Amino acid sequence: MLEKLRPEAADLAEMVLLDHVVVHTADIGGPPSLHPDLSDRKGELLVRRRLVERSLDLMRRCHLVDQEITDQGVLYRASDEAAGYIELLETHYSQKLKDCADWIALQVRSVGKHQFKNFVRTQIGDWTEAFSTTSGTSLQG
């Protein structure tokens, strides 16, 4: 997602949301979802948060993602090396994932990131509790 949104940056909560909707695009009026439509996905989001956090750390160590500390908190942005790596992903699933990411990036660019997040929340619900830190503060943006 970060490569498709480049040069935009995203915080952890935004990355969790994007990670969810890129495989559930039909929930927000996009192409067919890559993952099945389960009735209760709150648990999925809680698991995703930890996986996204670990994945960002791994991608940062592999120089695919840059981490920035800003007044708004920690932001992540695709590095210059990310595009070359993404091009190497050629499986059917990877291609569908890239197509869904392209569609999301188009939506974000057409309405802006803040408006897109609001739209997603109206479509799938506001799962703020799934984005809470262990201290109980919200990561919602």
What whole-number distance in Å separates Cα of residue 22 and Cα of residue 98? Answer: 9
- Convert the pLDDT of each residue in 105-132 to its tens digit: 999 999 999 999 999 988 877 555 345 4
68 residue type, one letter: E
Residues of the chain scoring pLDDT < 70 = 39-43, 45, 126-141
On whether the CB atoms of residues 85 and 23 are closer than 8 A, the answer is no
Give pLDDT, residue 12.
Answer: 94
Domain spans of the chain?
A: 2-131
**pLDDT score for 134:** 42
Q: Can you tell me the distance from the alpha carbon of 12 to that of 60, in angstroms, rounded to the nearest whole number?
A: 13
What per-residue confidence (pLDDT) applies to 43?
Answer: 65
The pLDDT of residue 129 is: 39
- Residue 125 vs residues 42, 63, 119, 121: alpha-carbon distances, Å: 10, 34, 10, 5
pLDDT at position 121, please?
86
